[in-house]
Structure 1
Amino acid sequence: MIDNRQRFSNRVADYVQFRPNYPSEIFVPLQQHHGFGQNSVVADIGAGTGIWSEQLLQHGATVYAIEPNAPMREASLQLTERYPTFQAVDGSAETTGLADQSVNWITAAQAFHWFEPQATRREWQRILRPEGWVGLIWNQRSLDGTAFLQQYEALLHQFGSDYATVKHTNIEPQRIADFFGNQPACYTAQNAQYFDQAGLLGRAFSSSYTPTPEQPNYQLLRQGLIEAWKEHQVAGKVAFLYTTTVYVGRFS
């Protein structure tokens, strides 16, 4: 069994370099309908290397980046050089280490599917101020939007270590509604990345469900990815297409 909190320890460099940001358009409804702004104090849960944390900081928020994985948390510390309102915290979704009612926003980007829902809900209710907001965010990769993406998905099913078990699309909307205790607002925007061959390999192996070099399927997946890139690249690039989905609500 893989400890979920250690899954990314040997993938940090690829994660930093090849994982996507989130489209700036998603901040518009957060600001217009949910009061997100420069006075927001955010617990960014499962913050990883700080991809989403930095975008929160760019909008003026104070951010406590809660991350249990030491190598990923260490990578996020580069944000302290540019943002005085950033603090990395050794904690988890279920045990954040923050004080009671200390934040008015809680976010989890590309992370909620790793959490234990009941313990997480109790902890988040403890640290969230009255009338505070919770936002759950995912970049959801298109599985069949292009021939390349169809082939990429097939390769993950064929050679991935536990892809079918842990992929975040296993979290259905009803489970999210159950977590909030009501139906949260949902906003979407489009996102994309474009990769040369090296970038495609880096993006693929930044995922916790792909094999590592010492595992038998690593070379098979790597070769399959190279062949898919050669077949489908246009001007030296292949496209990853995403729908970014944000669920925003309050606990009932």
Structure 2
Amino acid sequence: MQDNTRRFSNRVDDYVRYRPHYPSQIVTELESQQLLTPGIQIADIGSGTGISAALFLEKGYPVWGVEPNREMRLKSEELLRDYPGFKAMDGTAEATTLPDQSVGLIVAGQAFHWFNREQCRTEFERILKPGGVVALICNERLTSTPFEKAYEQLIIDHGNQYLKVDHRNIDVAAIERFFAPGRVTLQIFDNRQVFSYEGLEGRLRSSSYMPAKGGPGYNEMVADLKKLFHQFQTGDRITIRYSTRVYWCRLA
């Protein structure tokens, strides 16, 4: 767990510039389900640089961002300094440091696969108010077009532990087990990023399982990425498509 909390320390700038955000419709949907109400306190667990926290802060909801990585936490404080409702906390999913029954909604954006599920379930139950909700959000990169298949293969070829840490290893059945006996609701939203070559390379660098710039294997990865970009680009641009999946459930 300690190693995982440091995985992104040398990738913060690329993470901020090139990681996909989340559709604003997520907030609208949670509001329509009466899961977000005025004054509700949100805890964003594994909040990173504040991508998921910003989604709710922009709509006026206060957010505690719980993040164990110092570099990412400091960046979130910098980027979200204009939101008085944001407070960054040094904590983990298993030990958030938040008070008992202090939050009405827990969100985890692109982070659940790093958690110890048994321990964080206990912690979530502790910090949630009665009837509180957990929403797990993830951008799942699609792999159906020729470019998407080739890009996935490049990541497999050059990635370090990609197949081990890929968030897609946690399937619906695992999520249902985590929430049991509660009933899980899944909402899916379309999402995409459009990149020049520079952006595509930055997107690749932002992933913790890919070679770091200047490190072993980086030049080889870039050589293959340039070939892939020139093969599939249209108008000097490449589109990465995502299925943004939101799983939510009330914890007993």
Q: TM-score range by the shorter chain?
A: over 0.9
Structure-2 residue corresponding to 1:87: 87
In structure 2, the CA distance between the partners of 1:104 and 1:2, relative to structure 1 (3 Å rule), is: closer
2:39 alignment partner, SS class: coil
Structure-1 residue corresponding to 2:161: 162
Q: Do the aligned partners of 1:187 and 1:246 also contact (CA within 8 Å) in 2?
A: yes
Write the mapping of 1:190-205 to structure 2, written as runs, cut at 5 A.
Answer: 190-205=190-205
Once the two structures are superposed, residues 76-123 of structure 1 have per-residue CA deviations (whole angstroms, 9 ceiling, x without a partner) of 012443110100000000000000001101000000000000110000
Once the two structures are superposed, residues 51-70 of structure 1 have per-residue CA deviations (whole angstroms, 9 ceiling, x without a partner) of 11011101111100000000
| TM superposition outliers: structure 1 runs of 4+ over 4 Å | none
Once the two structures are superposed, residues 190-247 of structure 1 have per-residue CA deviations (whole angstroms, 9 ceiling, x without a partner) of 0000000100000001001101235432111111111111111111110000000000
Amino acid at match of 2:121: R
Q: Do the aligned partners of 2:27 and 2:56 also contact (CA within 8 Å) in 1?
A: no
TM-score, scaled relative to structure 1: 0.96
> CA separation in 1, counterparts of 2:29 and 2:197?
36
Write the mapping of 1:42-57 to structure 2, written as runs, cut at 5 A.
Answer: 42-57=42-57
TM-score, scaled relative to structure 2: 0.96
Structure-2 residue corresponding to 1:207: 207
> CA separation in 2, counterparts of 1:60 and 1:216?
44
Q: Do the aligned partners of 2:50 and 2:80 also contact (CA within 8 Å) in 1?
A: no
Q: Do the aligned partners of 1:54 and 1:79 also contact (CA within 8 Å) in 2?
A: no
The structural deviation recorded for 1:124 is 0.6
Q: Given the alignment of the two structures, is residue 187 of structure 1 paired with residue 195 of structure 2, yes or no?
A: no
2:25 alignment partner, SS class: helix
Write the mapping of 1:196-235 to structure 2, written as runs, cut at 5 A.
Answer: 196-235=196-235
2:134 alignment partner, SS class: strand
Amino acid at match of 2:167: H
- Could you tell which deviates more after superposition, 42-51 or 214-223? 214-223
Q: Given the alignment of the two structures, is residue 172 of structure 1 paired with residue 171 of structure 2, yes or no?
A: yes
Say how many residue pairs are matched. 251
> CA separation in 1, counterparts of 2:62 and 2:107?
12
Structure-1 residue corresponding to 2:21: 21
Structure-1 residue corresponding to 2:148: 149
> CA separation in 2, counterparts of 1:163 and 1:211?
11
Runs of at least 5 residues in structure 2 that lack an aligned partner in the other structure: none
Identity in percent? 42
2:33 alignment partner, SS class: helix
Q: Given the alignment of the two structures, is residue 62 of structure 1 paired with residue 23 of structure 2, yes or no?
A: no
Runs of at least 5 residues in structure 1 that lack an aligned partner in the other structure: none
Q: Do the aligned partners of 1:41 and 1:62 also contact (CA within 8 Å) in 2?
A: yes
1:130 alignment partner, SS class: strand
Q: Do the aligned partners of 2:205 and 2:213 also contact (CA within 8 Å) in 1?
A: no
> CA separation in 1, counterparts of 2:70 and 2:165?
21
> CA separation in 2, counterparts of 1:79 and 1:104?
24
Structure-2 residue corresponding to 1:5: 5
> CA separation in 2, counterparts of 1:106 and 1:77?
19
Structure-1 residue corresponding to 2:116: 116
- Could you tell which deviates more after superposition, 80-89 or 121-130? 80-89
Root-mean-square deviation (Å): 1.4
Q: Do the aligned partners of 1:38 and 1:59 also contact (CA within 8 Å) in 2?
A: no
Q: Do the aligned partners of 2:43 and 2:105 also contact (CA within 8 Å) in 1?
A: yes
Amino acid at match of 2:151: Y
Structure-1 residue corresponding to 2:243: 243
Amino acid at match of 2:178: F
> CA separation in 1, counterparts of 2:80 and 2:167?
29
Q: Do the aligned partners of 2:48 and 2:73 also contact (CA within 8 Å) in 1?
A: yes
- Could you tell which deviates more after superposition, 171-180 or 31-40? 31-40
> CA separation in 2, counterparts of 1:131 and 1:195?
42
